[in-house]
Amino acid sequence: MVQKKFITIYEQLKNQILTEVYGYSEQLPSENELVTTYGTSRETVRKALDLLANDGMIQKIRGKGSVVIYQGITEFPFSELISFKEIQHQLGLKHHTELVINEEINAADAEKVQFELGLEKDDKLIHVIRTRSIEGKVKILDEDFFVKSIVGNISDEVARQSIYDYLENDLHLEISYSSKSITFEPFSKIDDEVFGDINPPYTATVRSTVYLKDTTQFQYNISKHIATDFKFKEFSRRRENLIQ
């Protein structure tokens, strides 16, 4: 099926914003210029711009046109269920992933995880710990627990690349949604070892329980970010005509 023209324009403009061809507070080309550039109608261009506005990428301002309001982020979008590899591709991040642990454990060895996933003591978990670094400096510590009866074994190579890609494309699991919480916590002993001398020694810790489409809980994730590097950012647009 041929992709609709306004989707093509939207994707190209969005990529140009993400790669800072058009930076924060800068104007996109005018509708007339975009009509000429893409050889299409004004209606098609407006559909593409509407999608960018809905994504929180631009704001349409009378007399100024479309102004970029997106400001780049370097961490996982808190409200999205998305893999690290997808974030790297989407935002052009240059993180290096190092696999620290890939092992099978009993659920009883991680009591909080056992409770959160509703498991029995003898149920098996695949326990994976990975670090995400920039220029040799660890920025994120990811710890995952997967229900073994659902995911089977996860190879070291898969853990280094993308576990979600393996689960969805090889095992055909339908990953659907998650519940998340965020807390700011002092460094634990392992945090000291992984992150090094950071002041103040605190992490922004995001804990997630992840569900399949049939509501089965299959993963518990603990993602620790250096608190001073962490930025929680969410775009919200007020609905119009809430009060008449």
- pLDDT of 26 strictly over 80: yes
Buried b (16+ CB within 10 A) or exposed e, 17-49: beeeebeeeeebeeeeebbeebebeeebbebbb
Q: Contact at 8 Å (CB) between 66 and 50?
A: no
CA dist., res. 40 & res. 128, Å (int): 49
Amino acid at 244: Q
**What whole-number percentage of the chain has pLDDT above 90?**
57
Quote the pTM value: 0.63
Range with the lowest mean pLDDT among 43-57, 175-189, 229-243?
229-243
Kindly state the average pLDDT of the residues 6-31. Answer: 89
* Cα radius of gyration (the chain): 21
Structure letter (DSSP) for residue 108: G
